[in-house]
Structure 1
């Protein structure tokens, strides 16, 4: 298994706090897949306003965490070192559950199609083995 700590992730991704949404990578294969985790704490900035009476991680940030996990797989290829992976689209996105403080969110992204700098990844987020989000994410490397 290939794993990465936060400092190694920062060598691949341009994101930084508070927008770096992946805490560690459990396994990855450059250009193929990545499996990572986000340990969600009550101290996340977005919980102040989303929602004070019932803190829930915004769905768009869950999708962003999935995209960042996929970007580790894409940008860890030697030819993509120092580049940025941009969103090209979000398709077939379904939200099936909530992510709340204390959750350890598992983030999985597998590249299912790639042609040149563009590709598509199948992304899945789970908490305690339960599906939270599933989507197809289109990316462009530039």
Structure 2
């Protein structure tokens, strides 16, 4: 298949048809590329209006690293739960390995979230996840999931 076949334009409404997350915990705004069950590219527009900036940190707002990992997991869940065999289910964290944070994510940044599913065995799998800001790595991790 040609790569262009996987270019998509999913907004928040379409994303909410795939994953169960809602405000204030839906952390992806759009999906531009998706191979169901294999790979996804999604985006999060980080604004000063995010609830977590009230306390993290008032004098220097920084997106918490765990929420960057959560945004990556949500992007990966869109790819997994778009696969016919998993539609309508929920993806749960099974583990997080090799997480590294390389750049602060601040209001005004656009997070590019790339997740490649590297292994699926039954209802469990592993994704290689990387978040970028302006083509610089902000965070990366290996995320394990279970479909429930």
Question: Do both proteins adopt the same fold according to a TM-score greater than 0.5, normalized to the shorter chain?
Answer: yes
Q: How many residues align?
A: 142
For residue 113 of structure 1, report the CA deviation from its aligned partner.
Answer: 0.8
Whether contact under 8 Å (1:2, 1:29) holds in the other structure is no
Q: Where do residues 46-125 of structure 1 align in structure 2 (5 Å cutoff)?
A: 46-125=52-131
Deviates more, 1:42-51 or 1:73-82: 73-82
Shift of 1:8: 0.4
Q: Secondary structure of the residue that 2:97 maps to in structure 1?
A: strand
| Unaligned residue ranges in structure 2 (runs of 5+) | 1-6
Structure 1 residue ranges without an equivalent (≥5): none
> Whole-Å Cα distance in 2 between the matches of residues 93 and 78 of structure 1?
29
Structure-2 residue corresponding to 1:139: 145
Distance in 1 of aligned mates of 2:14 and 2:133: 24
Q: CA deviation at 1:79?
A: 1.5
Please list the CA deviations of residues 43-65 of structure 1 after superposition, one character each: whole Å capped at 9, or x if unmatched.
00000000000000000000000
CA RMSD of aligned residues (A): 0.5
Alpha-carbon distance between aligned partners in 2 of 1:116 and 1:53, rounded to the nearest angstrom: 46
Q: Which runs of 4+ in 1 moved over 4 A?
A: none
CA contact (8 A) 1:3 1:28 kept: no
Residue 33 of structure 1 corresponds to which residue in structure 2? 39
TM-score for both structures, normalised by structure 2: 0.95
Whole-angstrom distance in 1 between the partners of 2:109 and 2:131? 12
1:3 Cα shift? 2.7
Aligned-residue offset at 1:2? 2.3
